[in-house]
Amino acid sequence: LPMIYRLSAAKLTKGTCGASVDTIVARNLLMMVGRGMAAHASHALHVASTLLKTAQNKTSYKIKEPEKLMSIAAKLNLDASQGTESAAIEAASTAISDLVYDKSAMKFATSYFPVSTGKTLQGLGAIPGSVGSELLAEGHETSMGTMADPVSLILHAARLGVADMASLIISSEFQDVLFGIPAPVQSKIGLNVLDVNKVNVVIHGHVPLLSEKLVELSEDEELLKSAKASGASGINIVGCCCTGNEVLMRHGVPLAGSNLQQELVIATGLVEAFVADIQCIYPNVENVAAKFHTKIITTMKEARLPGALHIQFEEEHADKAAREILETAVANFQKRGKNTYLPKGEPKNLIAGFSVETCLGVLSKINPSDPLKPLIDNIASGNIYGAVLLAGCTSSKVTADASHVTIAKTLMKQNVLVIATGCAAQACARAGLLTPEASQYAGDRLKGVLGLLGETAGLGKPLPPVWHFGSCVDNGRVVILAGSLAEKLGVPVKDLPIAASAAEWMTEKAAAIGTGAVALGVTVHLGVTPPVIGSPAVVSLLTQKSEELFGGKFIVEVDPVKASQLLLEHIKEKRGKLGLAT
Ligand code: MSK
């Protein structure tokens, strides 16, 4: 049993070494945030390394968005005068240095956050050095007999949270450079995006490096010929979790499900290959697949499963790995058994693919010289009462999807704009909230804004009341948008009428994102109680003291209706402080 439970069971307040419950809880939290941050930074390192090798002409990837690359270089204050490849090498090397090498401050943190946020973080010693140096210190501090001061441990967790945010930004920005900036796209979600007549390939995990190639190759003539020779009418790629979100928002690839549906997707008996890269891959997929013909294929060295077929992804040979995977899937089609089941009915429609650039693009049609102004005017007038980001997983500890959906519907009714990422976005999609028709659930004032923006975007219909902003790493996009709004208004992020909610969070990564958001001044609701209640001191640091220090705090409320009220009260308070109508 974890030490904290053994202590409380024995009604003790200290361990044998004298570590208090506050020390133990703070130490455990720091380790949790550290693991989450390591996962995101590892993702970022893969993407940065791919960008670097692409610029060096060592891969078959292309730089699809040279303009965006130049704006990243400008933000980082890099010399981009030698052209695209040189700018890519500079930007990727800066990221790799931020992630791996020891130095005083991560450039992706100091360059991307508003100046006022940077000053607050600097004053609190919360600007991270490289991820590598921070993790080294975290491992050391949390080892037995080292750091025992709970406040220092929590401040270190905040620093790791900030490093996590910077890592998300690296992944999100470079993925756009390599694969394109997402733009609104229509697609579907549900188990019945699987096709009984086709070779079904599920792509699962987080890093879109190999999945981009799989999507591209699924239309390869030779592979389609072999699929037809096997009796299939084609190759059907569907997504799961965040790899699914990535290919959804760039290519419209439909989604089969989120983290909690991964085993169910296989249990349809219709999946020829279940291809996993990294993170949120339940080891149980192997046990379920063993009952069917499904091949579980792992592709990255960090996330291997003991019985899975492993086809290693390497940036330089991505096409070869993708072809081998699809050949394996096609060859497996004829082994599909009779024991198949697909739920009746149609998958749900959805619109995804919102990005900062898309938003600014639409807004600039209203005000070309000052695109943020229409957004600010609508917030000031109360047409948009505030904005809340729904992020994180779906959880088996609560009724899955229900918390996200209840909060989304309650907030939009009160004219709050809802942005969603990760599995939370998929939960909203399953409830039909990513459609123009769902704008009927929004309050009249927000409905008017969605209608105007939909017309301006040329949709001929309102925008959905929930904007799918991408995968978990795309929380970085939301940070960039919030930072731009704050800078435009000349106020710190902590004063904006915004908040975040991780109503069904479950992973260490969600803990890292939440901690980073609080450190940047955003108040975050958690709908599943984090493992800190053994220490009233840590609870107070996270839910009260953090607001004095950073401007953001955690709100813990399991009931989604009450949570919505708390989020609305928070927005009301912020509006009041800005002198806006409440
Ligand atoms: S996939 S981290 S279950 S959101 Fe990003 Fe979903 Fe949570 Fe994984």
The DSSP annotation for 272-298 comes to SEEEE-SSS--THHHHHHTTSSPEEEE
**Ligand 1 atom nearest 471 alpha carbon:** 5
CA distance 496 to 563: 19
- pLDDT tens, per residue, the chain with 582 residues: 567 677 777 777 898 899 999 999 999 999 999 999 999 999 999 999 999 999 999 999 999 999 999 999 999 999 999 999 999 999 999 999 999 997 789 999 999 999 999 999 999 999 999 999 999 999 999 999 999 999 999 999 999 999 999 999 999 999 999 999 999 999 999 999 999 999 999 999 999 999 999 999 999 999 999 999 999 999 999 999 999 999 999 999 999 999 999 999 999 999 999 999 999 999 999 999 999 999 999 999 999 999 999 999 999 999 999 999 999 999 999 999 999 999 999 999 999 999 999 999 999 999 999 999 999 999 999 999 999 999 999 999 999 999 999 999 999 999 999 999 999 999 999 999 999 999 999 999 999 999 999 999 999 999 999 999 999 999 999 999 999 999 999 999 999 999 999 999 999 999 999 999 999 999 999 999 999 999 999 999 999 999 999 999 999 999 999 999 999 999 999 999 999 999
CA of 391 relative to ligand 1 center, distance in Å: 9
| Contact between 256 and 250 (Cβ < 8 Å) | no
Distances (CA, A) of 161 to 8, 164, 486, 510: 28, 5, 20, 10
Q: Which of 245, 421, 423 to mutate to test the pocket of ligand 1 (most atoms within 8 A of CB)?
A: 423
CA of 423 relative to ligand 1 center, distance in Å: 5
CA distance 75 to 115: 13
> What are residue 237's DSSP bridge partners?
201
CA distance 504 to 401: 8
Buried/exposed 254-267: b ≥16 CB within 10 Å, e otherwise: bbbbbbbbbeebbb
- Ligand 1: which residues within 6 Å by Cβ? 206, 241-242, 258-259, 280, 392-393, 422-423, 471-472, 507, 509-510
For ligand 1, atom 7, the nearest C-alpha belongs to 393
CA of 388 relative to ligand 1 center, distance in Å: 18
Q: What is the per-residue pLDDT for 139?
A: 98
CA of 36 relative to ligand 1 center, distance in Å: 11
* Element at 555 (helix H, strand E): strand 554-556
CA of 555 relative to ligand 1 center, distance in Å: 20
Q: CA 71, 77, 83 angle in degrees (round to 5)? A: 60
Q: Which of 168, 260, 393 to mutate to test the pocket of ligand 1 (most atoms within 8 A of CB)?
A: 393
CA of 247 relative to ligand 1 center, distance in Å: 15
| Contact between 408 and 525 (Cβ < 8 Å) | no
Q: What is the per-residue pLDDT for 1?
A: 59
Task: Please name the residue that has the structure tokens 């949709």.
Answer: 459
Q: Which positions ≥6 away from 54 have C-beta within 8 Å? A: 61, 62, 63, 88, 178, 315
CA of 206 relative to ligand 1 center, distance in Å: 8
Q: Which positions ≥6 away from 132 have C-beta within 8 Å? A: 99, 100, 101, 102
